[in-house]
Structure formats: structure tokens, C-alpha cells
Amino acid sequence: MRALVTPSSQAGRVSPRIVSEFRERLRGARTQLLRTAAVTDEELTTVDIKDAREDGAALTMTSATLLRLKDHERRELTEIEQAEARLARGDFGMCAECGTAIALTRLRALPTARLCLRCQARVKEG
């Protein structure tokens, strides 16, 4: 079976400029979300440290923080982190269903969008 996403020459791949734009947007969205969830500045610092550390120490503290988040806030945070992972992988902005590029206007309105409008509509219809 042919891979859906081929490297480098893939049409619709977002440019480095867009990648950095959305990295900033997602960072901002995450900070705002955590502030809304009444997380203290000290805990926010811990969450930021998580990006740079993989040894798990900061992750444990983050989990304690996450326990205080409401379900929908935690889900939103997961979506933000998944979008950041897609940015890092290079498949950000590609529809997870059909593989076409998601419209930039849609991404700007909803940076965590995984589906193009057409696929999203189909999911909603069930």
C-alpha cells in the first residue's frame, strides 16, 4: 500500500513560516487554557519545562496539575499537544482523513483542527 504522506515534495505541506506561526499560536492557546483552568504561574513554568525535559520528573508534576483540569480542558490540552506533535513531524495542516491540505483560514480559526471542512462535516453527520 502506498504511503499517504510522502516526504518533502508533498503538495500542500505547510511552509516553515506557517509552522513557526502555528507553533506560537498553539503555545499561546495552551498558556491561555491553563490560565483559564486557574493554574498558578509556578505550575505553568513546570508545564513549559516539560517541553525541554524527557526524564519524566517534570511530567509527574504536570500530571498532578492536569488532574485539576476539567475533562474538556484536558481534552483541549491533548489536542493542542497533538497539533504540536504534527508540527514537529511535518504533517500539520493535512487532513487526517483524506490527506488534503486544510484551509489556512480554518487552521487560523482552529489551530488544533485535524480534519478538513468536508471530512469534519461528514464526522458530524455521524
Decide if residue 97 touches Zn ion (CB under 5 A): yes
Decide if residue 101 touches Zn ion (CB under 5 A): no
Whole-number minimum distance, CB 54 to Zn ion, in Å?
A: 33
Own/partner long-range contacts of 60-66 (Cβ < 8 Å, ≥24 apart): 65/34, 65/39
Whole-number minimum distance, CB 82 to Zn ion, in Å?
A: 16
Q: CB under 5 A: which stretch of 1-9, 16-24, 85-93, 112-120 binds Zn ion?
A: 112-120
Quote the distance between the C-alpha of residue 84 and its chain's center: 4
Rounded Cα–Cα distance for residues 84 and 82 (Å): 5
Decide if residue 96 touches Zn ion (CB under 5 A): no
Sites of contact with Zn ion (CB under 5 A): 95, 97-98, 116, 119
